[in-house]
Structure 1
Amino acid sequence: MIVGALYLASFLTGITGLVGVVLAHIWEGEARGTWAESHYTYLIRTFWFSFLASIAAVVLMFVIIGFFLFPLIAIWFGVRSVLSLVKASKQEPMPDPKTLLF
């Protein structure tokens, strides 16, 4: 739950998402074989795919498309973070942690 909360806090601070992904990478090994492992996988993938999509959006800003991608990336990042928090509060694993959808 801490990593998901840090991701959501990054909308206000900008840096807590980086702290969250570092913690997720550290704690993922400790969670092997538990319901929490799927959350770490899900949240790590959420961070890195949104990071790569943001880089692509910056490049695409030269053709205006990038400006429209940033809100979509933020929504995707936020929804995935909230979904992980909801499941974690019930101590349920993420159904498909390797999906790029929700």
Structure 2
Amino acid sequence: MLPDDRQTTSNTQNTQRNFNQPDNRNTTLTSTAGVSPRAETDANALISYNHLTYFLYVVSYFTAGLLWIVPIVMNYLKRGEAQGTWLATHFDWQIKTFWYSIVFFLIGSAIVIFSLGGLGVSIFTESGHVAAGSFGLLALGFGILGITVLWHLYRIVRGWIALVDKRPVP
């Protein structure tokens, strides 16, 4: 092999690696010239897959959260295929968003349930102080739930915009 041939092979490999990783200067994809059709097809399939999972997260709000489990399972199934690419950040982003949302949803729900119990006790004991504290906890619980929903939507929208722009999420 001639020195020029090695350089050409090296440039082709670098181009493939750059396709799979974001350009650090402006976080956009580099040219796909010299990228194997298989690598390009795989990347496009993973991009489409991520669009579907972001869509399912949004649709889950209209199904009372029943579809919430579907995109997380999908993300865990395909996460390994995106390893080492800029798309891996999207899989991780969605997975972290799911788990943090679950944790804060459970915390908010527990506070709401606890405060409703306090309201029930205050009705039977005719205690205004317990009722006042329970209303405060109820407001706190619903506040946590509301912030969790807004934070979840923000993360889904931010991630989806980054995917459309073909750049990683932080």
| 1:40 pairs with 2:115 | no
Which residue does the alignment assign to 1:89?
Answer: 164
Greater relative CO, 1 or 2 (CA 8 Å, sep 6+): 1
* Unmatched runs of 5 consecutive residues or more in structure 1: 97-102
Between Structure 1 and Structure 2, how many residues are aligned? 95
Query: Matched residues in 2 for 1:16 and 1:92: separation?
Result: 26
Write the mapping of 1:58-77 to structure 2, written as runs, cut at 5 A: 58-61=109-112, 62=115, 63-64=137-138, 65-77=140-152
Deviations 1:42-68 (A, max 9, x none): 110000000010100011112312112
Runs (5+) with no aligned partner, structure 2: 1-50, 116-136
Give TM-score scaled by structure 2 length: 0.54
- TM-score normalised by length of structure 1: 0.88
Identity %: 26
Q: Could you say what the CA RMSD is over the residues aligned between the two structures, in angstroms?
A: 1.0
* CA distance in structure 1 between the aligned counterparts of 2:62 and 2:91, rounded to whole angstroms: 22
- Aligned equivalents of 1:17, 1:83: Cα separation in 2: 18
Cross-structure match for 1:31: 82
4+ residue segments displaced more than 2 Å: none
Alpha-carbon offset, residue 21 of structure 1: 0.6
